[in-house]
Amino acid sequence: DARVTQTPRHKVTEMGQEVTMRCQPILGHNTVFWYRQTMMQGLELLAYFRNRAPLDDSGMPKDRFSAEMPDATLATLKIQPSEPRDSAVYFCASGLDSSYNSPLHFGNGTRLTVT
Amino acid sequence: KNQVEQSPQSLIILEGKNCTLQCNYTVSPFSNLRWYKQDTGRGPVSLTIMTFSENTKSNGRYTATLDADTKQSSLHITASQLSDSASYICVVAGGGATNKLIFGTGTLLAVQP
């Protein structure tokens, strides 16, 4: 079964440190999403790429967050500097944009704890 | 404001029983409505996707319904199993260039033996 792979699965870091999360989308998918999930807010969209081009990053705090797709097999989400309020589970998802009715496939997330 | 609201927030049922989860939305324009199942510590997994013209769609013991006029959807689980214990998330795709997905906060289902 093809799947979205996220690394690392868990990350504990101190406030002020840089955090990089990586995602390998499913081969052939041309849309990639980054979401953040907390108990209070549920799933929030941080960034959306189509054919590696960023289309929507309005949900991302731009002073500290950045998202890139250096190539079709890798998407990254960076936080610099990290803050305790960034503690959450970060999900990457990929899909086929050829049909708006195609499902998104999620990775199993990176659980980030900032102390 | 585009919103997706789910009820109940949490639910406990006995193994073998049926249950129905509700989703109301105010997203416009509307493209499709999705139900996802999220197990603890895992990413959401798609169960069903319904477009405007579809009233019902099944995936095994899961049956989703959609009333686009009242902007309501339900997910019915038949003959529940312990493995159905999870969070069920309703997601509405708004139309437009980015096909933005609006997520509900989920219903946490616990199936007890």
B10–A contact, CB cutoff 8 A: no
Task: Burial-class residue B83 by CB neighbours within 10 Å (0-12, 13-18, 19+).
Answer: exposed
Which H or E run includes B88? strand B86-94
From chain A, the residues in CB contact with B100 under 8 A are 45, 56
Share of chain A above pLDDT 70, in %: 97
Q: Report the mean per-residue pLDDT for chain B.
A: 93
Residues A51-72 have a mean pLDDT of 90
DSSP A102: S
From chain B, the residues in CB contact with A45 under 8 A are 100-101
Of residues B95 and B31, more confidently modeled:
B31
Q: Is the pLDDT of residue B97 over 70?
A: no
Q: Is the pLDDT of residue A91 over 90?
A: yes
Which residues lie across from B12 on neighbouring strands? B110
A5, A74 Cβ separation under 8 angstroms: no
Q: Which of B95, B100, B50 is nearest to B73 (CA)?
A: B50
Closest-CA residue of chain A to B51:
A101
From chain A, the residues in CB contact with B46 under 8 A are 103-105
Closest-CA residue of chain A to B106:
A42
pLDDT in tens, A73-85: 999 999 999 999 9
